[in-house]
Structure 1
Amino acid sequence: MGTMLNDVVPYNKDPNLYLKLAFTATFFAGVFQATLGLLRLGFVIDFLSKATLLGFMGGAAVIVSLQQLKGLLGITHFTNKMQIYPVLSSAIQHRNEWSWQTYVMGFCFLAFLLTTRHIGMRKPKLFWVSAAAPLVSVGLSTLLVTLFKSKLHGIATIGHLDKGLNPPSSNMLLFHGQFLGLAIKTGIITGILSLTEGIAVGRTFAALNDYQVDGNKEMIAIGLMNMAGSCSSCYVTTGSFSRSAVNANAGAKTVVSNIIMASTVLVTLLFLMPLFYYTPNLILAAIIITAVIGLIDYQSALRLWKVDKLDFVACLSSFFGVLMISVPMGLAIAVGVSVFKILLHVTRPNTCVLGNITGTQIYQNVNRYKEAKRVPYFVILSIEAPIYFANSTYLQERILRWIREEEEWLVANNGTSIKCVVIDMTAVTGIDTSGLAMVKELRKMLEKRSLQLVLANPGGTVMEKLHQSNILESFGSEGVYLTVDEAVADISSAWKA
């Protein structure tokens, strides 16, 4: 949110407008989230695959971490841009503003926080070490600056903070003006990210504790929470992986833990705010870096490379989109790559040649199973996707190419030719009119070449449409079988007879 708003309305230039836009964006995020839940459109979130989210979160974590160089190095003038090149350039160009006291203390506390985080991850029983480290760091750094403020004058501190609760912000919501579009766009993008993380957290802990999560109800709850939050000085929020994990490890089972946490925050806001006067900015930067660095999951990226190269490309695309262009463009690239992957699988479905495993009635891919042998005079093909308008032409061409290639193989190896083509439709879960036309056209083309076309195990929905379109009549009684083995046995016996 800070990235998107800062690009147009820098906080230091017009803080009042910046706050209004933040609250308005939060309101629209809540409206968007609740609407998705009410209309039961939870599947929209699924367009962000885990691979693209992995890259997006990693890129955002790098950018947010680099932005903390301002506080960690003690730089006074720093760029408002969020791309990697402007941020690094600004840090180097303003190296004359670096404060050695700031970065020595900052990197020491950063090392301490990273170490405690590592201990908490390696030894779950010591989760309290990493959980308490930020609070200890704030207290210790504040104490050091307070005691040695005459010698540490180069370290910037938070300064005065007002006690009490923030006033209601319902009067700060902007529903008109030139920045309304920015607020809506920011709200939708941050709302999507908020939903993705919140539902992912919910599903993770539901799996661990053996209960179910209704995604649409989660969306409504998060949406209403953000709509209410926008009226009470909150920016868009969601369920947190780290804090939920700490809560779970501590043994929390109900929302009473949240009530206690909220009460602690309330007491702090009402009575303890003056204690943070000498809290150095560097400690906030160190805490933020420690928090977001957990989003850079390089091990999962390596697993993507081993398992699915296309997912790895999607991950890298969203990662570099965030780093090089912007956070919104990074998200757009992530969605675009995810949609492209879906289209690729739909328009180029997997097909393979099946062979019989000797001594059984099982037919498997001849390229994956060495035991699977081709059946003389037959070409047995499997289509592993629904047949729709988007892939019907490709499937027709692919089947004809398979027939040609198999015919050449059979002639070269067995000295036999093809008499029958069997299409295993076990994995074909649906078919539309274009797919029906393709089947009808394919049968005619093979008939001209004196080849018989047989369909094996079409599903209920596919069978209904074949029957309604009258295509089954052209196949006759020996055109459709329950299994591939039944088709091969029956047709072979008919030839012998």
Structure 2
Amino acid sequence: MTKLAYWIPGIDQIKHYKRKNFGADLVAGSILSIMLVPQALAYALLAGLPPEMGLYASILPLFIYAFLGSSRTMAIGPAALIAMMSASFSSQFALQGTPEYNTIALILAMLSGVILLLLGFLKLGFLANLLSHPVISGFVTGSAIIIAASQIKHFLGISVSGASLLEIIEGTYYQLDNINPISLIIGLSSLILLLLLKRYASRFLEVLGLSKDTSVLLSKAGPILAISLFTFISYEFALASHNLALVGTVPSGLPLLSMPDFSFNLVSDLLPAAAILGLVSFIESISISQAFATRKRQKIDSNNELVGLGGANIVSGLSGGLAVAGSFSRSAINDEAGAKTQLSGLVSASFVLLTLYFLTDLFFYMPKAVLASTILLAVFALIDFKAIIHAWHYSKHDGIAMLGTLSIVLLFGVETGILAGVCLSIFLFLWHTSHPHIAIVGNLTGTEHYRNVERYEVEVEPNILTLRIDENLFFANCRTLEEKVTELISERPDVEHLVLMCNAVNMIDISALESLETMMQRLKSANIALHFSEVKGPIMDKLRDTHLISELTGEVFLTQHQAIKSIKN
């Protein structure tokens, strides 16, 4: 039972559910659904899919995650970045608007879910670390810019496609003669209204006498108000006759679970894209879940998150929905509304289900330009140029990683950008570890501490050279240590003893071991003894039976101070 409870955290939540939390979860779920419905429709539009597929992705996946995921308050469902990536990948195999395109989106969701599920069962959540924070930040900012640019066509009432920013700009330029002024007016008006509501709605509600917290929560219903208003205007003034693009017919009810038609050749072609989609959705989701769990001092298990998110995506594909992930904006609303458990997500999913059964007729006259404005408002918060400036000032390497990923995403699209980001992260890691910080250290007068001679006034012995190695020693950097030692020894003809201070070394692989043995023989030929100090126990356990220790020309000392005193005497 314990093992089952580990893989299905929902069992524990049900077992220990407190009746007093029901009211809070019910209210939070109700408020969450007000935000989820317009976003589900908008993100389906962003993915180039029928609007109902966004709603389908907001029902069963939420039930699955509630039982399999470890976060108590994270809200999952359609997300802007994942929707755009789904569109980018699917458009490589079929044209938007065709049944084949919709099928590929379903297969992508299922495949990414299967991959995440397998990674979770194999406990490989650490693979997300292949993407560094600067790379993720650059990728998200670049993707948000492309998302924003891709919505311009709905404002202008034109047809434009493209995976990169340049393709979108070029396509828009050639369609400028076909701009629909009604669509532009509706889009800009709705965007202005949304911005005004976001900034002033809560203040207005406070003036009416509502509490600050209640006002903030109710102000999040701005998209529903804007969509309702412009849908009414569209209906009342028959704007469809002016070629205003509308959502159109949305089928009512939930489709039966079914396996989309596929061939094994298609699956093999989609696997790389599905792996990238799954990895990004996991990174986005785990970051959100950890942020809210830390705030509430709750535990998050990365493998549970892989399984929960994987199961949610599989069910989403089977039920006719697009790929899903955690949503920061909806999770924040869920948390602010007082959600205690995933029951709030189940309440939200139930409201979406009721919407599908009873309210789909209201979507017919909904302008696509208004949905585009809700997307723009959501992705504006993802564009973070300040992070690039901060990274550049703090670390040029991180700044290069962020700018490089951002540029590649904008120029070549999200798929190339994320692959380049992974490669860039690995390259920068290898570059950093292959150039370890090696400092000459000396004794702080009157103490037993040893510090960098370039930073402190220290005492050094002319015949003793002590090097502190601030990195693990392995195949990528052992040659760098050899070269550094050779260089320093050649500059110091009086040196008779070399002490390697290893307090920061946590690993020495076989390549580094052989390199140290070679270095010892070279030093021996120059009448220089090699010593080690502050070697950690696990490292010493492995070195004890090696030729390095058995043939060592010097000694292994417990502390650096002990080494200097012993050699001097």
TM-score by length of 1: 0.90
Q: 2:365 aligns with which of 255, 261, 278?
A: 278
Q: 1:58 aligns with which of 108, 129, 141?
A: 141
CA offsets 1:386-426 (integer angstroms, 9 cap, x no match):
22222222211112223334x28xxxxxxxx3232211011
Task: Give how far 1:298 is off.
Answer: 1.8
Distance 1:238 1:173, change over 3 A: farther
Partners of 1:311 and 1:392 in 2: CA distance: 24
Partners of 2:446 and 2:202 in 1: CA distance: 52
Instruction: Tell me the amino acid that sits aligned with residue 10 of structure 1.
Output: L
SS at match of 1:86: helix
Q: Does 1:41 align with 2:124?
A: yes
Q: Does 1:87 align with 2:173?
A: no
Instruction: Tell me the amino acid that sits aligned with residue 212 of structure 1.
Output: K
Instruction: Tell me the amino acid that sits aligned with residue 303 of structure 2.
Output: N
Partners of 1:372 and 1:280 in 2: CA distance: 73
5+ unaligned residues in a row in structure 1: which ranges? 409-416
User: 1:162 — aligned with what?
Assistant: 251
Distance 1:287 1:150, change over 3 A: closer
Aligned length: 476
Distance 1:118 1:382, change over 3 A: farther
Task: Give how far 1:232 is off.
Answer: 0.7
Instruction: Tell me the amino acid that sits aligned with residue 476 of structure 2.
Output: A
Partners of 1:380 and 1:404 in 2: CA distance: 15
User: 2:512 — aligned with what?
Assistant: 435
Partners of 1:55 and 1:312 in 2: CA distance: 9
Task: Give how far 1:166 is off.
Answer: 2.9
Q: 1:149 aligns with which of 221, 238, 263?
A: 238
User: 2:563 — aligned with what?
Assistant: 487
Range 136-145 or range 103-112, more displaced: 103-112
Task: Give how far 1:133 is off.
Answer: 1.4
Distance 1:377 1:114, change over 3 A: farther
User: 2:39 — aligned with what?
Assistant: none
Distance 1:236 1:173, change over 3 A: farther
Distance 1:466 1:168, change over 3 A: closer
Instruction: Name the Cα RMSD after superposition.
Output: 2.3
User: 1:413 — aligned with what?
Assistant: none
User: 2:524 — aligned with what?
Assistant: 447
Distance 1:151 1:174, change over 3 A: closer
What is the 5 A alignment of 1:4-403?
A: 4-12=89-97, 15-75=98-158, 77-78=159-160, 80-117=161-198, 125=213, 127-128=216-217, 131-149=220-238, 153-170=242-259, 172-177=260-265, 179-367=266-454, 369-403=455-489
Q: 1:423 aligns with which of 482, 500, 514?
A: 500
Equivalent residues of 1:68, 1:285 under 8 A apart: yes
Task: Give how far 1:110 is off.
Answer: 1.6
User: 1:412 — aligned with what?
Assistant: none
Range 54-63 or range 156-165, more displaced: 156-165
Equivalent residues of 1:356, 1:375 under 8 A apart: no
Task: Give how far 1:208 is off.
Answer: 0.9
Partners of 1:457 and 1:227 in 2: CA distance: 52
TM-score by length of 2: 0.79
Task: Give how far 1:447 is off.
Answer: 2.5
Equivalent residues of 1:37, 1:220 under 8 A apart: yes
Instruction: Tell me the amino acid that sits aligned with residue 11 of structure 1.
Output: Q
Partners of 1:353 and 1:88 in 2: CA distance: 55
Task: Give how far 1:44 is off.
Answer: 1.0
User: Greater relative contact order (Cα 8 A, min sep 6): structure 1 or 2?
Assistant: 2
SS at match of 1:8: coil
5+ unaligned residues in a row in structure 2: which ranges? 1-85, 207-211
Structure number with greater Rg is 1
Equivalent residues of 2:240, 2:246 under 8 A apart: no
Distance 1:150 1:353, change over 3 A: closer
SS at match of 2:220: helix
Identity fraction in percent: 29
Task: Give how far 1:323 is off.
Answer: 1.1
